[in-house]
């Protein structure tokens, strides 16, 4: 579980962790330079944090892990799966973004939402799962007011 920017492992709600722990072994940690960890000498980057996470997974003796990252932790999780796909079984990026050239900046995001409403075929089923009809209608209503 990779925490958000400047957050320590204590950020995770104990009830949430307890629920996860009923079916999973849960590992929480502090990123480099946060909480109980040293800063080391390497530059702080998303990729470095991803490398650190891969190193932790391996050091704990796991071949693969299910990874959840929140906010910048989601960005770190995405870097982890790109640079160390062998250590990731499943990934959840909660409120992270892909960064790089594929990142959709906020003003462009509104245009993407407009296009989603008109998608047909198999992709519509996927988008329907990500953006339920009630949400798309509400987003459309907000869009017309802007």
Q: Taking 70 as the threshold, does the pLDDT of residue 15 lie above it? A: yes
Q: Would you give the DSSP letter of residue 9? A: G
Q: Quote the pLDDT of residue 87.
A: 96
| 85 vs 135: which has the higher pLDDT | 85
pLDDT digits (tens, 9 = 90+) for 56-113: 999 999 999 999 999 889 989 999 999 999 999 999 988 877 666 656 555 555 555 5
Which segments within 78-121 are labelled E, that is strand?
88-94
CA-to-CA distance for 126 and 88, rounded, in angstroms? 22
> Over 90: is that where the pLDDT of 36 sits?
no
pLDDT at 144 over 80: no
Question: What is the pLDDT confidence band of residue 5, given thresholds at 50, 70 and 90?
Answer: confident
Measuring CA to CA, which residue among 54, 48, 107 is closest to residue 72?
48
State the chain's mean pLDDT as an integer. 79
Q: Does residue 12 surpass a pLDDT of 60?
A: yes
Q: State the Cα–Cα distance between residues 22 and 30, nearest whole angstrom.
A: 22
**Residue 67 three-state SS:** strand
Q: Kindly tell me the sign of the dihedral angle through the C-alpha atoms of 55, 98, 12, 20.
A: negative
């Amino acid at each position: 579980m990779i925490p958000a920017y400047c957050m320590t492992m204590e950020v995770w709600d104990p009830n949430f962790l307890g629920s996860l722990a009923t079916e999973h072994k849960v590992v929480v940690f502090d990123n480099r330079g946060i909480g109980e960890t040293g800063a080391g000498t390497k530059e702080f980057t998303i990729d470095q944090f991803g490398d650190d996470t891969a190193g932790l997974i391996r050091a704990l003796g796991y071949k693969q892990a299910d990874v959840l990252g929140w906010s910048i932790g989601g960005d770190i999780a995405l870097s982890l799966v790109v640079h160390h796909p062998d250590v990731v079984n499943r990934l959840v990026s909660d409120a992270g973004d892909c960064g790089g050239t594929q990142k959709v900046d906020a003003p462009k995001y509104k245009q993407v939402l407009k296009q989603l409403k008109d998608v047909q075929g198999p992709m519509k089923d996927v988008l329907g799962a990500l953006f339920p009809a009630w949400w798309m209608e509400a987003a459309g209503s907000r869009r017309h007011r802007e």
